[in-house]
Amino acid sequence: MSEQRNHFGTDGVRGRVGVEPITPDFVMRLGWAAGKVFSQGRRGRVLVGKDTRISGYILESALEAGLASAGADVLLLGPMPTPAIAYLTRTLGASAGVVISASHNPYHDNGIKFFSGCGSKLPDATEQAIEALLDQPMAMVEPAALGKAERLNDAPGRYIEFCKGTVEPWVDLSGLKIVVDCAHGAAYHIAPHVFGERGATVIPIGVAPDGFNINAGCGSTAPEALQQAVAEHGADLGIAFDGDADRVVMVDGRGQLIDGDALLWIIANDRRDSGGLIGGVVGTVMSNLGLELAFEAAGVPFSRAAVGDRYVLERLREHGWQLGGEASGHILCLDKATTGDGIVAALQVLRAMVRSGRSLDELCAGMERLPQVLVNVTVARRFDPMAVPRVAEAVAAVEARMGRAGRVLLRASGTEPKIRVMVEGEDAALVDTLATELAEVVRGAVVA
């Protein structure tokens, strides 16, 4: 078997529902292949959770059938945040955890991602073993060895208690009015309780999922709804998650958006000041240059990884550090959770507010964001834009024009058929012009 991944991307298997690989037939075969791998030498026990997409019902049933046909027992959790699956997989001693979710994508997409028994993303070797079995005929175990399925009804309560316990008892949120936007996603019945039970007055929005409205004009990918709600209710701040709650962005009392870069800055400073920062911080190639310069001025080591929380995690492990994340709001606090967790990250920010007595906007002081423009170019299929000569030449020309006062990055999205074109520098007008010009070059390369 080649080490090339035919189906797994940077975050599991994802696509449009009804188009392979996101079909009931393929997902059943994927469940069977995973069940075989997770059950080697013993009877596997696999947790299955999902977000609130309408297709989750079908894919959950298909996955359950595939896992059970391979001899693995299935524990169904229902709608739960992705990091909750990671936590429960580890604490319940399961062989693996599976999440049915397309994260921040629209309802018509869905995906399957896996966690190992220790609550981390699967090693490459395990993904390759599953891929290899997908090429083989699906053969059920003997009837006496078929897996069983049951539901864990107290999964939300278990995870709520875990989240509350990731900050000290003195982190009292009484007196804070917080708007919490759950994107009509998996955290709709979780996040409001976490912050409310820590004392905050919570105004929940995006908590009425109907199978189709996940991430639709709400949540971390559309923070305008949160900004408006914070203003309308005179709230101290707002918190927005994406559909599976592994991302978080916030809004301060003035309505200003606080993205993942700023959240990293706040958490790192709080840990440094209270003696809890181990080593440095990992960002990505998309992290704003202003964040890197701020950490440099503060004497905090900073390292960039490729885009994707799995790569941030790899870099953290390389350095032996605990804190990292992405501008999109994936924040990893490895002393608290094994994977990116939006609720846990938000609690770390609130801890900084309570400990310092400062507002969210005050905690952002010290980090000056450089103008950054990101243009997404939709393509029929993902490809390496820098492998196209005319694109590489255009990038080189822009880099020469900007010199050391800016950055250029082109990359294929790992989750969508898009090419990301990012330009960053001191001159906002120039950055916008150059990003637009580069995007046009990429579009021309696609047409050609």
State which CATH number among 3.40.50.970, 3.40.630.10, 3.30.310.50, 1.10.3720.10 fits the domain covering 372-447. Answer: 3.30.310.50
Question: How far, in whole angstroms, is CA 79 from its chain's centroid?
Answer: 16
| pLDDT for res 330 | 96
- Decide if 274 is catalytic: no
Q: How far apart are CA 408 and CA 423, in angstroms?
A: 5
3-state secondary structure of 166: coil
Instruction: Yes or no: say if 343 and 248 are a contact pair by the CB < 8 Å rule.
Output: yes
Distance CA 66, CA 60 (A): 10
**DSSP state, residue 416:** S
**pLDDT at residue 5, rounded to an integer:** 53
Plot region of 219 (φ>0 → left; ψ -120 to 50 → alpha; else → beta): left
Domain coordinates of the chain in residue numbers? 13-153, 159-363, 372-447
Q: Going by DSSP bridges, is the β-strand pair 45-50/13-16 parallel, antiparallel, or unpaired?
A: unpaired
- Active-site residue (options: 39, 95, 101, 103): 103
Do 159-363 and 372-447 have matching folds?
Answer: no
The pLDDT score that the predictor gives to residue 403 is 82
**Eight-state DSSP code of residue 364:** T
Paired tokens of 394: 């255009």
| CA atoms of 421 and 386, how far apart (whole Å) | 11
φ/ψ of 303, rounded to 5, equals: -130, 145
> How is 90-133 classified by DSSP, letter by letter?
HHTT-SEEEEE--TTS-TTEEEEEEEETTSSBPPHHHHHHHHHH
* CATH number of this structure's domain 13-153: 3.40.120.10
CATH number of 159-363: 3.40.120.10
CA nearest 114: which of 194, 181, 34, 42?
Answer: 34
Q: In the structure encoding, which two tokens stand for residue 97, read together?
A: 């955890």
pLDDT in tens, the chain (448 residues): 334 457 777 678 999 999 999 999 999 999 999 999 998 878 899 999 999 999 999 999 999 999 999 999 999 999 999 999 999 999 999 999 999 999 999 999 999 999 999 999 898 899 999 999 998 999 999 999 999 999 999 999 999 999 999 999 999 999 999 999 999 999 999 999 999 999 999 999 999 999 999 999 999 999 999 999 999 999 999 999 999 999 999 999 999 999 999 999 999 999 999 999 999 999 999 899 899 989 999 999 999 999 888 899 999 999 999 999 999 999 999 999 999 999 999 999 999 999 999 999 999 999 999 999 999 999 887 788 999 999 999 999 999 998 877 889 998 887 778 999 999 998 999 999 999 999 999 998 876 5
Q: Measuring CA to CA, which residue among 17, 27, 186 is closest to residue 109?
A: 17
Residue 96: name the closest of 144, 48, 57 by CA.
Answer: 48
pTM as predicted: 0.91
